[in-house]
Amino acid sequence: MGIGKTAFGAFADRDLRSLAVEAGEKCLRNAHAAPAQVESFYLGNFAGPAFVGQNHLAPYVSTALGIYGVPSTRIEAACASSGSAFFHAWTEVAAGVYDLVLVVGVEKMTSQPTARVSQILAEAGDCSGEMKVGSTFASLFAMIARRHMYEFGTKKEHLSMVAVKNHAAGALNPDAHMRKVITLEQAMKAKPIAEPLNLYDCSLVSDGAAAVLLAPLERAREFTAKPVRVLGIAQCSDYVALDQKADIVTFPAVRRAGEQAYRMAGVTPREIEFAELHDCFTIAEIVATEDLGFVEKGQGGPYAFAGCTALRGERPVNTSGGLKSKGHPVGATGVAQICDLVLQIRGEAGERQIERHSLALAENLGGSGATCVVTILGAA
């Protein structure tokens, strides 16, 4: 397995294709592989046509990487686009259809003004209902947070601590969009966005790309001295609209994908040593720790507040800084999570390196829980 990422940030002088090519080329170099060896190509991208006005994106990127004559497929699954692309690439390799499959996730978001970005993102929700009445994902996740507070006594301090610890990790990540340490007081008193969420509860609008090269286990050492194995993986779906869900403080797609991935890997939640979880909003990370079985339902807030998910905690979550600090170029996020897990497993995470790093999980969420991909990785 090879990995490659761009820095995440706001890059006025970069276009979507140049970001994707940078990540793809870094990945191929990391795997000591040539473009001509790639047998299939997947692109994870949510809204390139809306953000940059370009359609037919998969061959647009693959040919720029020097990859010709192979299947080039774009996967769109909202913020889970490249997690889903990784899932489909893995199925090709696991089925023996192809040996070397390259996955690139990319998004160029800052080419549009903030209001337009919010509108494009909202289109991953229910346009006939939620969007018509003015809902955005900030307002939807604010409802989830408020309900979680009502049912379980979750506090604003719990949400803010997720932001604090993710910024602390992101400050050590040279590729992070916002390398800024914040205090609990700053997080608590930031500009309100959608009650009870404020500025530090919300992920960033970012540009960036990430890439992974997949190969069969028996060929892995042709490409790296430190192969990492996909032990379990699953993609599940659920209703798009929040009002169709029986319970808005849990995501059935996350629970089901987690259960399937654990079963495939032959492990339990207790055995997962660290994770990259989808913190598009701080409440999303708290709910994910519960739905994935790291803690009992309702205990995600106190678990984070106690420091258990911090970089030096008992089970670090988002050692990359997460979407909150690393950035959230939505089509790149799922593959970027995989890259960050691989860095830790290989012992190459620099100042962010954790001591226990042999078994890891990534959870990539699309919309308000309509799509989820859970991947479990371990050292081969």
Rounded average pLDDT over 147-174 = 98
> pLDDT tens digits, residue range 311-336?
999 999 999 999 999 999 999 999 99
CA–centroid distance for 39 within its chain: 25
Q: Is 65's pLDDT higher than 90?
A: yes
The reply to whether omega before 35 is within 30° of 0 (cis) is: no
Which CATH fold topology does 2-113+207-222 show? Answer: Peroxisomal Thiolase; Chain A, domain 1 (3.40.47)
How many angstroms separate the CA atoms of 341 and 45, rounded?
Answer: 21
Question: Which pLDDT does position 135 carry in this prediction?
Answer: 87
Residues above pLDDT 70, as percent of the chain:
100
How many angstroms separate the CA atoms of 283 and 248, rounded?
Answer: 12
> pLDDT tens digits, residue range 293-307?
999 999 999 999 999
Using alpha carbons, list the distances in angstroms from residue 164 to 38, 146, 213: 41, 20, 33
Using alpha carbons, list the distances in angstroms from residue 129 to 107, 132, 145, 171, 375: 26, 5, 21, 39, 32
Question: Which pLDDT does position 338 carry in this prediction?
Answer: 98
Residues above pLDDT 90, as percent of the chain:
96
Rounded average pLDDT over 183-196 = 96
Catalytic one of 27, 79, 202, 339: 79
Question: Which pLDDT does position 130 carry in this prediction?
Answer: 84
Question: Which pLDDT does position 132 carry in this prediction?
Answer: 78
Q: Is 141's pLDDT higher than 90?
A: yes
> pLDDT tens digits, residue range 21-48?
999 999 999 999 999 999 999 999 999 9
**Torsions phi, psi for 231 (to 5 deg):** -85, -35
Local confidence band at 128 (pLDDT 50, 70, 90 cut-offs): confident
Local confidence band at 134 (pLDDT 50, 70, 90 cut-offs): confident
Superfamily of 115-202+226-379 according to CATH: Thiolase/Chalcone synthase (3.40.47.10)
Residue span(s) of the chain under CATH 3.40.47.10 come to 2-113+207-222, 115-202+226-379
Catalytic one of 177, 328, 339, 372: 328
Question: Which pLDDT does position 380 carry in this prediction?
Answer: 83
The mean predicted confidence, pLDDT, of the chain is 96
Per the annotation, the verdict on 328 as an active-site residue is: yes
Local confidence band at 375 (pLDDT 50, 70, 90 cut-offs): very high
Per the annotation, the verdict on 27 as an active-site residue is: no
Structure tokens at 232: 């379990």
Q: Which long-range contacts (CB under 8 A, 24 or more apart) does 139-143 make?
A: 139/194, 140/242, 140/368, 141/194, 141/197, 141/280, 141/281, 141/283, 141/284, 141/368, 142/193, 142/194, 142/195, 142/196, 142/197, 142/281, 143/242, 143/248
> pLDDT tens digits, residue range 90-118?
999 999 999 999 999 999 999 999 999 99
Rounded average pLDDT over 187-214 = 97
pTM for this prediction: 0.97
> pLDDT tens digits, residue range 219-230?
999 999 999 999
